[in-house]
């Protein structure tokens, strides 16, 4: 099982990455093969809405997003990891998602179906400082549609509220154990 973890926070070693590391341990414990990518390290431009992908299903921008299309196609499971920024995904995660417009065009305009029926699944891991009931609604909805464009079934999320400072998640008892368990479920 190939699992791709896309880290959307610019803060290295922060809450979402700490949770993602625990998820990774869980995936690996059940034999999954994990590759992690820090989106903030990539030089990638936002979607230019040029329509260039409409006919080909391929993005015309040539930058460090390019290899990610192939990595996403290869993965059996994709985990998008993002802190909540202004009630949505981080800019890094959103740029990744918007660039998946090329996959949306591939699927819905070019009618090129991809690994249909192979049960590819996608997940969201997210952390946020506050605790409101609707805190993750926007991030979940956006992530669902990003995965839909990629012909990946949205299969669930692991969310942590009330973590603001860099390592705050370490103070919440049991969170990393639960994240590891979540990783096991993803990897099985």
Residues forming contacts to ligand FMN in the complex (CB under 6 A) are: 9, 11, 14-17, 83-87, 127-130, 135, 163-164, 166
Smallest gap from residue 39 Cβ to ligand FMN (A): 12
- Nearer Cβ to ligand FMN, position 68 or 84? 84
Tokens of 95: 């740029």
Smallest gap from residue 2 Cβ to ligand FMN (A): 24
- Nearer Cβ to ligand FMN, position 17 or 157? 17
Smallest gap from residue 34 Cβ to ligand FMN (A): 18
- Nearer Cβ to ligand FMN, position 12 or 113? 12
37: three-class secondary structure by DSSP: strand
- How far is residue 184 CA from its own chain's centroid? 17
- Nearer Cβ to ligand FMN, position 7 or 78? 7
Residue nearest to ligand FMN (CB): 14
Q: Exposed, middle or buried by CB within 10 Å (0-12, 13-18, 19+), for 62?
A: exposed
The owner of tokens 């400072």 is 165
Of 34, 56, 31, 59, give the one whose Cα is nearest residue 45. 59
């Amino acid at each position: 099982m190939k699992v791709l973890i896309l880290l959307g926070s610019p803060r290295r070693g922060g809450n979402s990455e700490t949770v993602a590391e625990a998820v990774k341990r869980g995936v690996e414990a059940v034999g999954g093969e994990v590759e992690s990518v820090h989106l903030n390290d990539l030089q990638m431009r936002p979607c230019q809405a040029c329509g260039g992908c409409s006919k080909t299903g391929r993005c015309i921008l040539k930058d460090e997003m390019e290899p990610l299309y192939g990595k996403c196609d290869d993965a059996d499971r994709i985990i998008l990891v993002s802190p909540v920024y202004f009630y949505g995904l981080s800019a890094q995660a959103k740029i990744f998602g918007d660039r998946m417009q090329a996959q949306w065009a591939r699927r819905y305009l070019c009618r090129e179906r991809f690994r249909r029926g192979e049960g590819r699944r996608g997940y969201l891991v997210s952390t946020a400082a506050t605790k409101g009931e609707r805190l993750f609604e926007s991030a979940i909805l956006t992530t669902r549609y990003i995965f839909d464009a990629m012909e990946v079934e949205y299969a669930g999320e692991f969310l942590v509220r009330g973590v603001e400072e860099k390592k705050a998640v370490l103070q919440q008892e049991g969170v990393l154990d639960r994240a590891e368990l979540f990783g096991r479920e993803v990897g099985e």
